[in-house]
Amino acid sequence: MNRRSFLSGVMAAGCLTSIQSVAASPLARLATSPSVKGLGAGKFDDNLIVFISDLHCNPEGYQPDHLRKVINRILNLPVLPRNVIAFGDLAYLTGKVSEYEFLKPILKPLEDAGITLTLGMGNHDHRARFAQVFPEQAAKTKLQGRYVYVVETPNADFIMLDSLQESDDPTKWITAGALNDEQKQWLEQTLKGYTKPVFVGSHHPLDEVGISSILVNSPTCCGYIYGHNHRWQKHWIKQSYGSQRIVRAMCLPSTGHWGDIGFVTFSLDSKKAVAVNHQSEFFFPVPASPAEAPEQWQYITEENNGDQCTFMYTI
């Protein structure tokens, strides 16, 4: 069996991580630890979150099929997450009502399983049209006019910000992200009141949302997580050159539009959180048949699948 055939077989089997890293992954250790061994699918871990991003749900495209595969893999995890957080670009391009209506039943199996969904905004979304289809999501916001959420777990909390800039032209979108002054002020005041580890996220990277100083100057902030780039990436920001204080940042894969394709599990214990990338594919700009896919795509998938990012709590 050649390398390409082997990798194709592994991906077709839908394994959670690469063969080399399955036994070492935090999720695998969780599934076999004495406290949860034998629970099986359908049992929950309140300290497990799944992150998905950049769904780009196109009723006429290939993206929904990839999203369905991701949802199926989440529902077949050894232990189910209590929360799934989506980091925006739920709609395909301009946030049409029809796209949200098409998306809602695709996501429904997660809620039917007892998982709580939190749906963030990206630059391809539209707040008012999203609220028509997902009024229960809009009702959870912490700030009027923006969809800002707080997801609580026993060990750490997660704050989801709204970095969408809407265009006056409903047929267009703005690629750059930004946080209005109200959100920045709310975030700064909220973090000041935290005595518990907390993570912050939005659809866009830090260089667009402009909150790096707020995060590194908050002793309880443990990391920043975002989407938009459709890439599994890890980096960090510093408080100053002379300070040891850093905040790790992490970019999420897409569920099926282009780039790195998959989802991320986020396991929180009493000292740290460990993110694991569950990547099933790489393609750009569109999927290709196995026979037509460049070999490089296989290498990218293999390298990223099972990769981890650890966030240490700072308090």
What are the residue ranges spanned by the domains of the chain? Answer: 3-30+51-312
Q: Do 50 and 79 contact (CB within 8 A), yes or no?
A: no
Quick one: which H or E segment has residue 154? none
User: Rounded to whole angstroms, what are the CA distances from 285 to 77, 246, 288, 303?
Assistant: 29, 34, 9, 19
Q: How far, in Å, CA of 310 to CA of 276, rounded?
A: 9
Q: Rounded to two decimals, what is the model's pTM?
A: 0.87
What is the CATH T-level fold of the domain 3-30+51-312, as seen in this structure? Purple Acid Phosphatase; chain A, domain 2 (3.60.21)
The per-residue pLDDT for 172 is: 76
Contacts of 130-138 with C-beta under 8 Å, sequence gap 24+, read 130/90, 130/91, 130/95, 130/100, 132/97, 132/100, 133/97, 133/100, 133/101, 133/103, 133/104, 134/100, 134/104
Bridge partners of residue 202, in order along the sequence: 226
Kindly give, in sequence order, each residue whose CB lies less than 8 Å from that of residue 110, ignoring residues fewer than 6 positions away.
71, 74, 75, 84, 117
The per-residue pLDDT for 38 is: 32
Q: How far, in Å, CA of 79 to CA of 81, rounded?
A: 7
The per-residue pLDDT for 178 is: 96
What tokens were used for 215?
């995060």
Q: Do 52 and 85 contact (CB within 8 A), yes or no?
A: yes
What tokens were used for 83?
């929360």
pLDDT tens per residue across all 315 residues of the chain: 444 443 444 344 443 333 333 334 444 433 333 333 333 455 999 999 999 999 999 999 999 999 999 999 999 999 999 999 999 999 999 999 999 999 999 999 999 999 999 999 999 999 999 999 999 999 999 999 999 999 999 999 999 999 999 988 877 777 789 999 999 999 999 999 999 999 999 999 999 999 999 999 999 999 999 999 999 999 999 999 999 999 999 999 999 999 999 999 999 999 999 999 999 999 999 999 999 999 999 999 999 999 999 999 987
The per-residue pLDDT for 11 is: 43
Looking at residue 169, the DSSP 8-state letter turns out to be S
